[in-house]
Amino acid sequence: MVTLKILKNDSTDPFFNLKMEESILCCELLNDVVLMLWQNEPCVVLGKFQNPCYEVNEDYVHSEKIPVVRRFTGGGTVYHDLGNLNVTLCKDKDNIIFSHYILEEAKAIANIVAEALRKLTKASVVVDDRASVFIEGKKISGSSTAIAKHKFFYHSTLLVSTDLLRLKKCLKWKEEYPEGEHSFVKSKRSPVANLSDYAPNASLDTVREAITNEFIQTLPIEEILFLQA
């Protein structure tokens, strides 16, 4: 049994929010699970092992004054704005909930998010082997997982009502890495869509509530604590 600590974070500052994620790693968790659903103002977030010149349309983001920030986990480059909902979950590495295998644990968590979305739309919602969520073949959520400071750390994006035109302008979508370049991780691009395309009545608040409730119903919870970031 675990204590679920739901962390309320009202900040939309990407620099503050990424620091907040890192600070969660410094907490002593034991049987606690920390869940935080949050948003960023427009920004581009790089994976730990990526080169921005191959991932980001730098002229465009500079002209639009869109900051580029780097997270401490791997994975691909993503665009955030206030139409995107971020999901962060952190627990002790030895506090196994679904599987001893990291990727299987991540997929099970992504399935909690997916199940919440299934209840909001009649469209087909699928989780792939990379713990990404697709609706009718289009990606609406990508995730990244890390083991750090004896913690299991999962976070994901969820496109609810994001400006997809701006997203596509910020990111490079064609393979532009030089041949033989293996020192950086390349993003895996997929066609994307917003949840609102399939659930037009789903606001950010209703999606946040639905995902939170699904975690509460699915995890083996003994106690729930609501905390302010």
Q: Quick: pLDDT tens for 16-58.
A: 999 999 999 989 998 999 999 999 999 999 999 888 888 999 9
Take residue 86 and report the two structure tokens written for it.
Answer: 């971020």
The topology (CATH level 3) of 2-228 is BirA Bifunctional Protein; domain 2 (3.30.930)
What DSSP line would sit under 63-114, residue for residue?
HTT--EEE-SS-S--EEE-TTEEEEEEEEETT--SS-SSHHHHHHHHHHHHH
Query: Are residues 80 and 164 in contact, defined by beta-carbon separation less than 8 angstroms?
Result: no
Residue 226 DSSP SS3: strand
Residue ranges per structural domain of the chain: 2-228
Q: Which two tokens stand for residue 32?
A: 């606690």
Q: Is the pLDDT of residue 181 over 60?
A: no
Instruction: Give the chain's mean pLDDT.
Output: 93
Give the global pTM: 0.93
What 8-state DSSP symbol labels residue 162? Answer: -
DSSP SS3 for 41: coil
DSSP designation for 197: G
Percentage with pLDDT > 90 across the chain: 83
- pLDDT score, position 35: 98
Residue tagged 């299987």 (tokens): 104
The pLDDT-based confidence of 189 (bands split at 50, 70, 90) is confident
On the question of pLDDT at 180 being above 80, the answer is no
Write out pLDDT tens, residues 166-175: 999 999 976 6
Interval 83-101 mean pLDDT = 96
Percentages helix, strand, coil for the chain (3-state, rounded to 5) are 30, 30, 40
Q: What is the pLDDT of residue 178?
A: 61
Taking Cα atoms as reference points, which of 42, 63, 39, 44 lies closest to residue 172? 44
Which pLDDT value is given to residue 156?
97
